[in-house]
Amino acid sequence: MKGSRIVVVGAIVGGVALSACSQHAKPAANVARPTSLPAANTAAPVAPPPAPASANPALVPPASAMLTPSKRTYVARLFSEGQAHKLGWRRLDLTDAAYEGKPAWLLVESRQINTVTLTDSLYVAKTTLEPMHRVVHTADQDITTHYTRDSILTSFEGDSGGGVKVSMKNEPNLVGNIYWLEPLLASVPLAEGWKGSATTVVVGPRDQAHVVMKLWVTGQDSLLIPDGTFDCWKVTLQVGETEEHLWVRKSDKVMLKMDTPVAGIAAAKVELLLAQGQTPKS
């Protein structure tokens, strides 16, 4: 069992590292190839016409977003072969910030898996909720993405694809990463039959794509966590070919639990459960 546990834990660490970059989304077969960034003396390309407003509707319109600073800690556990193994911790911090002198939200998702630390930092414009800047640190790579009105510019440094720079078209209402969905849940009208979607981007040294994230309420549940028992909406999140399951507390729309399948390991899953002391006392 010990040997198999090492294999499984190693696989999930790799999976979490992938999640920090691409959220396990598998792009379609016709993914566009990266475009090399122009040299400094190359004339800037003509901006493409804006996409129709209905082409990529916002999951939550900026004027309807109810965002407040927050700090949440989750325990990460791996369930495999009928046993549970603690992997580490996950934190999601939303704070007031500024980027290039403009008001912003800073969302930092960090994970401590055994001895590996992974972080994903995303700046989002306060008034429009548009992504502005993102930095991902994995075990062997740093990925920096900067958003302009027309383009998404990404550079890769490290053991995997070091020195590579790619660009792709920006679009209205993009979500900077999958973690940004969690603060937005507070503004979503969850109810029986509710469905929604949002679009994010998957960017790698060789492949890139726009990926639609679909969400829908599948039912209700009473969930026990260290802070007590709470009524929840059960929500399915589909990203590419992967489905994750979320338990969202009805009272404040905080995600209490998430189950994610482990790619390539049958019947294995990673669970994130809100840790003790995260619920304000009434």
Tell me if 281 is assigned to some domain. no
How far apart, in whole angstroms, are the C-alpha atoms of residue 201 and residue 177? Answer: 8
User: For residue 180, which phi and psi values (nearest 5 degrees)?
Assistant: -65, -20
Our CA angle for 92, 250, 279, nearest 5°, is: 50
Specify the number of domains making up the chain.
1
Tell me if 195 is assigned to some domain. yes
H/E stretch holding 13 reads helix 2-22
Which pLDDT does position 49 carry in this prediction? 45
Tell me the three-class secondary structure of 43-84, residue by residue.
Answer: CCCCCCCCCCCCCCCCCCCHHHCCCCCEEEEEEEEEEECCEE
Which pLDDT does position 10 carry in this prediction? 37
Tell me if 209 is assigned to some domain. yes
Query: For the chain, percent helix, then strand, then coil, each to nearest 5?
Result: 10, 50, 40
Tell me if 131 is assigned to some domain. yes
HSE, CB side, 13 Å, CA atoms: give it for residue 262.
Answer: 21
Is residue 237 within 8 A of residue 214, CB to CB? The reply is: yes
Neighbour-count burial for 203-234, b at 16+ CB within 10 Å, e otherwise: bbbeebbbbebebebeeeeebebeeeebebbb
Question: What domain range is 69 assigned to?
Answer: 2-28+64-274
Which residue, among 277, 265, 281, 275, has the nearest Cα to 12 in the 3D structure? 265
How far apart, in whole angstroms, are the C-alpha atoms of residue 12 and residue 232? Answer: 27
Which pLDDT does position 56 carry in this prediction? 73
Report the chain (282 residues): mean pLDDT per 10 consecutive residues: 39 39 39 36 41 66 93 95 91 97 97 91 96 94 94 87 85 94 95 95 87 96 96 95 95 96 88 93 70
Tell me if 58 is assigned to some domain. no
Tell me if 50 is assigned to some domain. no
In three-state secondary structure terms, 3 is: helix
Tell me if 117 is assigned to some domain. yes
Tell me if 75 is assigned to some domain. yes
